Amino acid sequence: MTSPVPLVIDTDPGIDDALAILLALASPEVDLRLVTTVHGNVELAQTTDNALRVLHLGGRSDVPVAPGAAESLIHPQPERAGHVHGTAGLGGVTLPPSPVAADPRPAVVALAELLSTSPVPVTVAAIGPLTNLALLLRTYPAAAARIGRLVVMGGSAARGGNVTAAAEFNVWADPEAAHAVLTSALPTVMVGLDVTLPTVLGEEDIARFAAAGPVGAQAAAILQQYLAHARTAYGTGGVVVHDALALTEAIVPGTLTTVRRNVVVDTTLGAGRGQTLVDRRTVSSAATAVEVAEGVHPDAAVEFLVSRLSGLDALVGRSS
Ligand code: BDR
Ligand code: CA
């Protein structure tokens, strides 16, 4: 087998973020080297603590967690998503605290150091608001240019929004940052609502990894509140784990069918704020174009997630 690809997850845990982190830990194709946290589903201090606890649950409290931006770049966006993820972000579940503290380095510094020193290209999975990535581009452009692949969970090409009629949550939470990243010429895959909404994790799928052991059972417990929200918000009989699908594409490139498109973000202060304007009229050859995920095999993606999460208990048992 080839060497695992170094991976960074930039995240705002968040229920589906927690699943995404656990999926990465369960996947031998990647080596999770760093987690950076950002404001988003809940406040930064909480997303940082949640990331530490999730890594501890997965038996990997050795992975550094560097806290990033506490707010959006330009226009304050104090609205969080506690009604979706629970006020503490993990669906009302209190995971045991991590024995380690957060990394003293700010997220952009930790990211820049890793990118600058890695002998091989690093994949970055950005599954929260894009504030940290925009700051990295601005403050450490040479390090940012070394990103091998950037997989962004955010936006929507043709499905409208989930937090407003126009906007998907991660882009809406910092549209200026999203615009900077999605027009930056980084090698980016945009995993938006077009492919995440059809990918539904059913109750029987959750039951499979819940039965695998204590780690699987905790992952399933975290999902219960999300399950209730998904039924109401999306009318689905299961959970839409947006961030876990983005991680699947980060772990197994090509899982999703992508088309190269020009993408800009509506940064006006009106009703369209945070909308990703994906130009689907043409396939773009522009350097700044983004690979937009437009096709998914939902059953295969769900099976991948469930089988990987079902194997996590055995992995954690072996390392402890
Ligand atoms: C995105 O918004 C957040 O609430 C989720 O964690 C995911 O990253 C989905 O729109
Ligand atoms: Ca997220």
Distance 16 CA to ligand 2 centre (A): 6
H/E stretch holding 264 reads strand 263-265
Alpha carbons 254 and 246: distance in angstroms, whole number: 11
Distance 14 CA to ligand 1 centre (A): 8
pLDDT confidence of residue 314:
93
Q: Is the CB of 197 under 6 A from ligand 1?
A: no
Over pLDDT 70: what percentage of the chain? Answer: 99
Alpha carbons 228 and 234: distance in angstroms, whole number: 10
Contacts of 166 (CB under 8 A, 6+ apart): 160, 266, 271, 272, 273, 274, 275
Alpha carbons 264 and 260: distance in angstroms, whole number: 13
Q: Provide the annotated active-site residues.
A: 242
Over pLDDT 90: what percentage of the chain? Answer: 88
Ligand 1 atom nearest the C-alpha of 13 is: 6
Average confidence score pLDDT of the chain: 95
pLDDT confidence of residue 81:
76
Measured by CA distance, the residue closest to atom 4 of ligand 1 is 41
Predicted confidence (pLDDT) per residue in 259-290, tens digit = 999 999 999 999 999 999 999 999 999 999 99
More confident residue, 91 or 267: 267
Query: How many angstroms separate the Cα of 231 from the Cα of each of 84, 228, 234, 235?
Result: 11, 5, 6, 5
Q: Is the CB of 168 under 6 A from ligand 1?
A: yes
Per DSSP, 111 falls in state H
Q: What number does CATH give the domain 5-315?
A: 3.90.245.10
Q: What is the pTM of this model?
A: 0.97
Does pLDDT of 1 surpass 70? no
Of all ligands present, the nearest one to the C-alpha of 10 is: 2
